[in-house]
Amino acid sequence: MCKGLKTNFLGVELASPLVLPAGVMGMSYSGLKICVENGAGIVTSKSLTKLPRSGHEGPVMAEVPGGFLNCMGLCNPGLEEGLAEIAEFKKLSTTPLIVSIFATGREEFTELTLAANRSSADFLELNLSCPNVFDEFGIPLAASREQVFEIVRAVKEVSRLPVIAKLSPNVLSITDIALAAEAAGADALCLINTLGPGMLIDIYARKPVLYNRFGGLSGPCLKPIALKLIYEVYSSVKIPIIGMGGIQSGQDAVEMKMAGASVIGIGTAIYYHGLEIFNRVNQEIRDFLEESGYESWQAIPALDKIRD
Ligand SMILES: Cc1cc2nc3c(=O)[nH]c(=O)nc-3n(C[C@H](O)[C@H](O)[C@H](O)COP(=O)(O)O)c2cc1C
């Protein structure tokens, strides 16, 4: 791997700043391994829940211009099996790995964290994007500063691993949520998760295309929104950001770096371009470094922060 791409994330050396995000290829050790072989510098497991989940009935994905809608329903093999896949991956690769966990409240997140402590993962990511659990005022977990604060604080109290809070864009102020996560001790943030949800209608069948009616939007159409939200959050927090949402080229990755992200996720672009996307984006970043005279990925400066 080219020297210029090497970077450091929370004290861990990465060969490339490209991240495999949660939910895309991260269900098995072989899916994780093949992403590393194709140039990912850090990989994330599928979000794991306490018990296995079969997810929603199909169709669970549908293409729209500029992206995909998905309503996978967090299908995953459950924590035990998921951690076994991670252990298998770690026997074969020294590449850093993020274990993603999903729960609906503080106690369950803590329980999953204790199990993740015994795993060979390098980082713990909390999928805090749950739209279906509400607080006493009817605010969904993802949009509740109080719940995000409480969950992150409880997890930080017991976690052996650095904690990354993954945030939803579907909130009034993502900066408020990011600040709550930071104040609770999160080591890093990951944004953005899917947007929406949205829907599509089959006019001949007169029914929604997705069996579950609604699905989260991902892919290239997300990029301008992801850039704006990352830039906004970067302007307010001190902890590093894993940026994602619609990235499919070296130029996109550099834009996101300039918006304030430290490392960059590539998810949906795999469906469009195959796994070679990681190596292609790595090469396009190298080309940019050479053309622009930057010494390394880390030397690319972010924009000036927004000031009130
Ligand atoms: C099929 C699919 C499954 C996903 N599953 C998860 C998941 O389990 N946990 C999670 O935090 N994010 C999940 N995501 C969101 C992605 O990790 C990422 O945040 C989002 O898709 C934006 O990046 P992209 O446009 O590069 O795909 C999923 C996305 C897709 C397309």
**Any idea what the Cα angle at residue 131 is, between residues 21 and 57, rounded to 5°?**
75
- CA–centroid distance, 98 to ligand 1, in Å, is 14
Rounded CA gap, 241 and 231, in Å?
A: 10
Decide the pairing of beta strands 12-14 and 18-20. Answer: unpaired
**Binding-site residues, ligand 1, Cβ < 6 A:** 21-24, 46-47, 68, 70, 72, 74, 100, 127, 166, 193-194, 218-219, 222, 244-247, 265-269
> Which tokens belong to 158?
């017991």
pLDDT digits (tens, 9 = 90+) for 144-176: 999 999 999 999 999 999 999 999 999 999 999
Residue 306 in domain: no
pLDDT over 90 for what percent of the chain? 91
Nearest atom in ligand 1 to 218's CA = 25
Nearest atom in ligand 1 to 21's CA = 17
> Which tokens belong to 277?
């996307």
Q: How far is CA 41 from CA 102, 142, 168, 278, 295, in A?
A: 23, 28, 23, 9, 19
- DSSP summary character for residue 77: -
- CA–centroid distance, 245 to ligand 1, in Å, is 9
Residue 27 in domain: yes
Rounded CA gap, 39 and 216, in Å?
A: 27
For 155-184, letters b (16+ CB in 10 Å) and e give bbeebebbbbbbbbbbbeebbbbbbbbbeb
For the residues 211-222, what does the mean pLDDT come to? 96
pTM, two decimal places = 0.97
Residue 213 in domain: no
Residue 173 in domain: yes
Residues in the chain: 308
Average pLDDT, the chain: 95
Name, in order, each residue with C-beta under 8 angstroms of 217's C-beta and a sequence gap of 6 or more: 64, 67, 68, 69, 194, 195, 196, 197, 198
Nearest atom in ligand 1 to 129's CA = 11
pLDDT of residue 27: 86
pLDDT of residue 137: 74
pLDDT of residue 132: 64
> Which amino acid residue places its CA nearest to atom 18 of ligand 1?
193
Q: Is 130 one of the catalytic residues?
A: yes
Residue 249 in domain: yes
> Among 1-10, 104-113, 119-128, where is mean pLDDT lowest?
1-10
Pocket test for ligand 1, best of 19, 24, 53 (most atoms within 8 A of CB): 24
If one counts the domains in the chain, the total is 1
Helix, strand or coil for residue 298? helix
Residue 198 in domain: no
Give the side-chain half-sphere CA count within 13 A for 26.
30
For the residues 120-132, what does the mean pLDDT come to? 89
Residue 64 in domain: no
Residue 160 in domain: yes
H helical segments located in the chain: 29-37, 79-92, 106-117, 145-158, 174-183, 223-234, 250-259, 269-273, 276-292
Rounded CA gap, 154 and 159, in Å?
A: 9
- pLDDT exceeds cutoff 50 at 222: yes
Nearest atom in ligand 1 to 226's CA = 22
pLDDT of residue 129: 87
For the residues 265-278, what does the mean pLDDT come to? 97
- CA–centroid distance, 244 to ligand 1, in Å, is 9
pLDDT digits (tens, 9 = 90+) for 21-77: 999 998 899 999 999 999 999 999 999 999 999 989 999 999 999 999 999 988 999
Residue 133: domain span: 3-55+75-193+220-299
Name the residue with higher pLDDT: 294 or 135.
294
Confidence of residue 131 (pLDDT cuts 50, 70, 90): low
**Contact status, residue 82 vs residue 46, Cβ threshold 8 Å:** yes
pLDDT of residue 59: 95
- CA–centroid distance, 267 to ligand 1, in Å, is 6
CATH number at residue 232: 3.20.20.70
For the residues 286-306, what does the mean pLDDT come to? 97
pLDDT of residue 1: 46
Confidence of residue 268 (pLDDT cuts 50, 70, 90): very high
